[in-house]
Amino acid sequence: MSFEPETTMETTLLPVGYVDENGAVHRDVELHAMTGREDDLLAARGTAWKSRIGQVLTNCIDRIGPYATKPDIAKALRALPSTDRMWMLIRLRVLSLGDVYELPLTCPHCDVESTHRVMLSSFVAGDGQGRYERTITLPGGRTARWVLLGWEAESALEFLGRDESESKAEIDRKRNSITLFSRLVSYGDYTFSRDFTKRHPETKMLEIPEADMAALQGMPYLHRGLIYQEIKRVEDALLPLDFTVVCPRVACGKGSEAELELRDFFSVTSCGLAGTSAD
């Protein structure tokens, strides 16, 4: 069986869609496979990963709905929720490197390292019908309004995957509050600033404005948990990225949940293909 790309162009439907200035929802997107231009972009280590990925998508999108000029595509791309951008990255990966994605994983039960093969065609997008904002009513009658993760908030969360020892403890301490802040619009009578511009001068971690942090930390534990739960339910319905992995070690053989990540996502070594040597 061949896992090579079958075509270099594709039209796909976004999980949510681009809502333009007139309120029209556009879910159809045309993509073409990556070339050497995108290879050079991804290799530009001096540029933030988010910026590189954004430029790769801008290059490889031929249109979003009726919008086909690069300025219009870049504008639409920044307006889309992260679920839509992730879906386009998955489809672009299939177009450019094929359906197979091989990634290294460590069994959480026995610490055995192995390579797991994921078929990217197994991921299916839902239908969010252009709805960016959601409301949840909590026990006691208080409501919380939240939005799907957007470009600015997603950029501010890049640090969450970092491993620098000097900032890891601080990141872990504020991780849950930052995750909520990246999505919440209001809680009860309080409206969040949604200011993602302030960063710690050393760790570059997002600094939540004082009033917003006070509101987040003053929320009942139950309410925070129910909001997390609702965010996960909605985002999983739009684009489920979890999959089950079974440890290859016979003595273990236990299953665990993993999530599709962008780590080495566009590396040729992850696609299970190789050229034929003439030697």
pLDDT value at residue 28: 96
Residue 208: pLDDT over 50:
yes
pLDDT value at residue 217: 94
- Which residues lie closer than 8 Å to 177 by C-beta, 6 or more apart? 208, 213, 216, 217
> pLDDT tier at 270 (50, 70, 90 boundaries)?
confident
Q: What are phi and psi of 203, to 5 degrees?
A: -85, -15
User: Which tokens sit at 66?
Assistant: 């009726």
- Which residues lie closer than 8 Å to 179 by C-beta, 6 or more apart? 157, 228
- Residues 266-276 have a mean pLDDT of 73
Q: Tell me the pTM.
A: 0.86
- Residues 240-254 have a mean pLDDT of 79
More confident residue, 71 or 52: 71
What's the whole-number average pLDDT of the chain?
A: 86
- Closest by CA position to 164, among listed 220, 203, 212, 209: 203
- Residues 86-90 have a mean pLDDT of 95
Residue 186: pLDDT over 90:
yes
- Residues 230-245 have a mean pLDDT of 89
pLDDT value at residue 6: 62
pLDDT value at residue 163: 46
Distance CA 142, CA 186 (A): 11
pLDDT digits (tens, 9 = 90+) for 15-42: 999 999 999 999 999 999 999 999 998 8
> pLDDT tier at 255 (50, 70, 90 boundaries)?
confident
CB distance 131 to 238 below 8 Å: no
pLDDT digits (tens, 9 = 90+) for 97-148: 999 988 888 888 888 888 888 889 989 999 998 899 999 999 999 999 999 9
